[in-house]
Amino acid sequence: MSAVTVDQVMAILTGTETRNMKNPYRVSLAVRDSWLGKVRANNGSGFSFGKVQLDIGRNGQAQSAYLEALDVASGRGLIDQNTKIRLKKYVGVQRPDLPDPNSNHQLHLYYEADRILLNSVFSQIDFKSIVDHWTDVHLQLNVVNQINSTI
């Protein structure tokens, strides 16, 4: 059997997970609307985006894509330094819609407005290319390499 490629894995995912996604490059919170503001099972999603919904709450490649996009946006003057610092606080945060008793960041008060801001700002840069690059890295490291090591 020959080795699996990132393109083959993406074709499988695109045919299954993303067939109903309207715009996979929008920043979203992978939580049902009815669950917002409520603890629900083990849902620990942070902001996510891309065809495989890279999650900045838990995924290093998602965090890299997010931080790179913030750097590009800041470099182009789309956000100021204070906004960039505030938006960086979402990295590693799961369920920013919930108050965190272990932190004083208060992101639950601002996450919806910040999500709208992120989508506005990221629509003005080539966010798709950044996300696609980091998606490929994620799939190579976490899917392709594991599959090919067993072949």
Closest CA to 59 of 131, 146, 126: 131
Tens-place pLDDT, residues 105-141: 789 899 999 999 999 999 999 999 999 999 999 889 8
Task: Report d(CA 67, CA 71) in Å as an integer.
Answer: 6
Q: Between the CA of residue 75 and those of 88, 117, 145, what are the distances in Å?
A: 15, 16, 34
User: Tokens representing 103?
Assistant: 């932190």
Burial class of 2 by CB neighbour count within 10 A (0 to 12, 13 to 18, 19+): exposed
pLDDT value at residue 69: 96
Residue 15 contacts residue 67 (beta carbons within 8 Å)? no
User: Tokens representing 84?
Assistant: 């960039």
Tens-place pLDDT, residues 65-81: 999 999 999 999 999 99
Q: What is the value of pTM for the model shown?
A: 0.81
